[in-house]
Amino acid sequence: MPGTPEPTRRLFFALWPDAAVRQSLATVSKQHLHRVKRVPPANLHLTLAFPGSVTQPVQQCLEAGAGRMVAPPFDLLIDHAGYWPRPRITWIGPTRIPAGLWSLVTALRQVLEACGLVPESRPFQPHITLARKTNPGTGAVEFEPIHWSIGNFCLVESVTDPAGAKYFPLRFWKLEG
């Protein structure tokens, strides 16, 4: 007889902007994107790895793995915009991906695999989604580059309610080295 399904939480690892960077990202979004479904400023982030819906033991495994990682801080320059037709999103991101970001993402992908999750087959494309359900022209965003010093990363819970997704950072880890 089937038992009660184990409860799960929808989780992802992300770079979570501080107040000043969040403000800059939100300003670009507000100044350039009109009559579209903008991501609320409080939700702006850069996804590093996406475990998706996981049980509590898997969450514990992910947190333990993240805690064992050693990765140095790095700087990001958010300097260009793009549009992806398939999910129909307009995003901004770094033209140059610093070595520190590659190593952070590689290490997190290894943590996910070690916790039994399916390996990510898609290449990592760092981006901050500014708006969804957009059209090609919406991607033509020119803006003053945003400097973002990355000193930590976090595990975030995504909760969907009728008003849309809400993201709650659960735990931060400092980058050192």
* Interacting residues with ligand 2AM (CB under 6 A): 12, 47, 50, 89, 129, 158
- Which C-beta is closer to ligand 2AM: that of 71 or that of 112? 112
- Which C-beta is closer to ligand 2AM: that of 62 or that of 89? 89
Whole-angstrom Cα distance, residue 54 to residue 119?
Answer: 14
Minimum distance from CB of 75 to ligand 2AM (Å)? 21
Minimum distance from CB of 67 to ligand 2AM (Å)? 21
Minimum distance from CB of 12 to ligand 2AM (Å)? 4
Minimum distance from CB of 16 to ligand 2AM (Å)? 11
Minimum distance from CB of 160 to ligand 2AM (Å)? 9
Tokens matching residue 62: 């992910």
- Which C-beta is closer to ligand 2AM: that of 8 or that of 176? 8
- Which C-beta is closer to ligand 2AM: that of 10 or that of 72? 10
Best CA proximity match to 143, nearest among 47, 66, 78, 50 = 78
- Which C-beta is closer to ligand 2AM: that of 55 or that of 176? 55
SS3 per residue for the chain: CCCCCCCCEEEEEEECCCHHHHHHHHHHHHHHCCCCEECCHHHCCEEEEEEEEECHHHHHHHHHHHHHCCCCCEEEEEEEEEEECCCCEEEEEECCCCHHHHHHHHHHHHHHHHCCCCCCCCCCCCCEEEEECCCHHHHCCCCCCEEEEECEEEEEEEEEECCEEEEEEEEEEECCC
